[in-house]
Structure 1
């Protein structure tokens, strides 16, 4: 039997085909674009997710036709929080509002005033990237459209609808909506009512490793498959990456440098710390939870500098950074899209501090990579304040290709950073594993094993980096009021 893991990302749709031994038989990816029609807005057309999903499936089927014919299960992982709103005929009413969209910052204050116990219910501060404030924004600014809404789906769950005809989500992805009672693993009618919605607007909830629906027979026929194919519940992208790297037990950690940056800690219970901007979510496996610290611009910050300096290769730019002496580079605050942990500030913006005419693209690249590492160190401190003490974390995401970035993160955070052979495939591998569990009924202990560790990057002795981290932490409080005054509409 074979299994298909598909990741509905922000910058790319990726997929892998695996067998019962979890061997990757084929992989494919298609790039996506993000639209920003106004400052602070971030949107995508859900139809592009669907067409790109069909494209990656077609590529995998073409590469491995025999193995693909044995397909028994599919699972989706996906970018979290995105508001995909549908009418009564399942037509998309507007472009999806994405996780890094900051327009709904005022609605966060409004939502917490409407439900004073919201942090106890959801385990999280209301942040503009979450789904519920976006619906309050739509209710206020696009009222006719809001009245036409019959379903609200997350990005991967919209693709699941197109695959199966069913409205279904999993616990980990639903945790990022601010509509889930995270301890009870069920929709909160109080939170839904505060945004003018009810259970009828929500998808059915399942555990990520359980069978959720079946792929439409018409699609199976197109793919040359005569037997039923199961769709698993799936997962939010970070929970899927954790499953792909075997980060499923309490105390296990994951450090992801993708478009966003995440420090993920597994837990066997609900352990919120909303005051420090720590996310407390359900894991995609039954009776498991996790905590996350999240920054909004991680590897995307380096891509931005590459574009800014007209560098053709992000990897080459990262290599140039390795030869920069730290004390000669500017300090960078990586708040290009606002920030979550620990500041929860939609108005926060990126800053280069200490620029001079002697600085070139190598110094800018170093500063960006160091600034992201410092932000991850802040995230680790936020987790510590919640009582979570990680010793090591598996490295995943596009940034994990850089050994130098792993060392910066280790030095700044004090964590051992584990590099794996298939670290960059964590999300798709996690999805494939969820599909395998949904089909076979195997327990996580047999399926969610840790891949071989390629290298353990240990933190080096404190030095100039710790001095620069202290300066980095002093800058944001000094600039916060100025950032707020410079925000659009202020």
Structure 2
């Protein structure tokens, strides 16, 4: 029996097949488009996402030599994008990074409510409540005809099974839902003018059984009808579940998220969210938006096609660290932690009129340094001083970046070589068959590779850190002017 996991990110759907013992056997991916709109709007076509999921699953099965009947369980994780089922609303997926609801988020900030407190006192426009408010106000004809509105991971499971259910992970982290305060916060929904949106079905803990693949969903995915589907997670939470346990986790992908248990509500931190990953355990999140996206933007500037691996290999082989004199604040899509300001923008100091490969390598590397220093700041803001930090996500696959994060944060980086995000979702899929999500996590654990801080880099990173803080001060002074 094989376990299937699907991860839908910002631009690609990825599928992984795992053995029952947790070994990754095959992985494949397929891209889908982002549809840009005015005023910071961005969306996707769900039909294109669904087709990408199907193609990734088919390729993973081909690579593993697996028949549909060999797949014994399935779960989905996804970005916290919002799927809107209503006539005439297109694109029908509002991307997680869509910032159309900044004004609505600021209105929520003024409310004395526990939902706002657990959003760090400043609700992000990337959350679902302000996006629902925007829909109700700006598209009343859509609001009046809503057939369904779901987090993307929930809509994937709904399309696969035809069964209404929501993941506790998504509900607690992105909606007006507090599992330890009675669930849906009807007073806040009423105050925001959005109490009427459809939300049938139970809210299920990650790894809880939803039901079997439907007669429609199974052939669309190329799997057998009746294949069990379990409740999934938001992608960063799946990464934390699949990363090395018993330490804070850094999920470094399109954005960077630091996940830690045992923290209370605090400014510019999201959480604590009870049961969002493991039953009885509350997790909090600090983060930086669009970090990997910033590196991707630099990659696209190269005159000839280059992969991230190519760029990093060239930087690692260089006789000296590139980008001397360049310093970057990487908040190009706002600041989650520590400033909780979606309108903050990035800053580059020392940029020359040089489009050479060497200059672009320097820009890429110094952007990575700025991102790693931002992670150090997030960790400090969370009150953590971890000797160990589990790392997952696309950036974790690069040894040079793992070393950079170790040097910037001063923590040992623990990395499980097989894909932690897909592994976390596979753990959720396997949980009903393994005796629960904790038992499945123990079964799926893999040996870690440890990257320790390099003492020779300490002085250089400390200098970078002082400049990083000073640039933030100067940016604040300029904004105030």
The number of residues matched between the two structures is: 471
Q: Secondary structure, in 3 states, of the residue corresponding to 1:436?
A: helix
Confirm or deny: 8 A CA contact 2:168 2:203 kept in the other structure.
yes
How far apart are residue 175 of structure 1 and its match? 2.2
Aligned with 2:293 (options 290, 300, 305): 300
Matched, 1:118 2:130: no
Partner of 1:230: 228
Shift of the 56–190 alpha-carbon distance from structure 1 to 2, 3 Å rule, reads same
Q: Secondary structure, in 3 states, of the residue corresponding to 2:433?
A: helix
Shift of the 478–200 alpha-carbon distance from structure 1 to 2, 3 Å rule, reads same
Confirm or deny: 8 A CA contact 2:323 2:362 kept in the other structure.
no
How far apart are residue 331 of structure 1 and its match? 0.6
Partner of 2:210: 212
State how far apart, in whole Å, the 1-side matches of 2:66 and 2:302 are: 45
How far apart are residue 242 of structure 1 and its match? 1.8
Confirm or deny: 8 A CA contact 1:170 1:284 kept in the other structure.
no
State how far apart, in whole Å, the 2-side matches of 1:444 and 1:104 are: 37
Shift of the 201–474 alpha-carbon distance from structure 1 to 2, 3 Å rule, reads farther
Shift of the 223–6 alpha-carbon distance from structure 1 to 2, 3 Å rule, reads closer
Cα-to-partner distance string for 1:217-268 (whole Å, 9 max, x where unaligned): 3444677866622111111111211222243x4xx2211221111112234x
How far apart are residue 375 of structure 1 and its match? 0.9
Structure 2: gaps of 5 or more residues: none
Matched, 1:430 2:424: yes
Partner of 2:272: 280
Partner of 2:347: 351
Cα-to-partner distance string for 1:299-337 (whole Å, 9 max, x where unaligned): 221111111233522222223334343782311111121
How far apart are residue 94 of structure 1 and its match? 4.2
Partner of 1:401: 397
Matched, 1:179 2:176: yes
How far apart are residue 128 of structure 1 and its match? 1.1
Aligned with 1:245 (options 230, 237, 243): 243
State how far apart, in whole Å, the 2-side matches of 1:222 and 1:131 are: 28
Matched, 1:383 2:382: yes
How far apart are residue 141 of structure 1 and its match? 2.0
Shift of the 314–224 alpha-carbon distance from structure 1 to 2, 3 Å rule, reads closer
Shift of the 218–37 alpha-carbon distance from structure 1 to 2, 3 Å rule, reads closer
State how far apart, in whole Å, the 2-side matches of 1:403 and 1:233 are: 33
Shift of the 226–77 alpha-carbon distance from structure 1 to 2, 3 Å rule, reads closer
Q: Secondary structure, in 3 states, of the residue corresponding to 1:235?
A: strand
Partner of 1:467: 463
Cα-to-partner distance string for 1:418-473 (whole Å, 9 max, x where unaligned): 23221xx1111111111111233245145335421123333536312212212212
State how far apart, in whole Å, the 2-side matches of 1:276 and 1:123 are: 4
Partner of 2:251: 256
Greater Cα shift, 275-284 or 369-378 = 275-284
TM-score (norm 1): 0.88
Q: Secondary structure, in 3 states, of the residue corresponding to 1:375?
A: helix
Partner of 2:50: 50
Q: Secondary structure, in 3 states, of the residue corresponding to 1:348?
A: coil
Confirm or deny: 8 A CA contact 1:245 1:430 kept in the other structure.
yes
Q: How does 1:61-210 map to 2 (within 5 A)?
A: 61-64=61-64, 66=66, 68-80=68-80, 82-87=81-86, 94-120=91-117, 125-184=122-181, 186-198=183-195, 201-202=198-199, 204-210=202-208
Cα-to-partner distance string for 1:328-374 (whole Å, 9 max, x where unaligned): 23111111212211111121122211223578112111211101101
Structure 1: gaps of 5 or more residues: 486-490
Confirm or deny: 8 A CA contact 1:337 1:349 kept in the other structure.
yes
Partner of 1:488: none
TM-score (norm 2): 0.89
Q: Secondary structure, in 3 states, of the residue corresponding to 2:35?
A: coil
Greater Cα shift, 284-293 or 62-71 = 62-71
State how far apart, in whole Å, the 2-side matches of 1:33 and 1:341 are: 28
Q: Secondary structure, in 3 states, of the residue corresponding to 2:382?
A: helix
Shift of the 468–225 alpha-carbon distance from structure 1 to 2, 3 Å rule, reads closer
How far apart are residue 25 of structure 1 and its match? 2.6
Partner of 2:282: 289
Shift of the 31–124 alpha-carbon distance from structure 1 to 2, 3 Å rule, reads farther
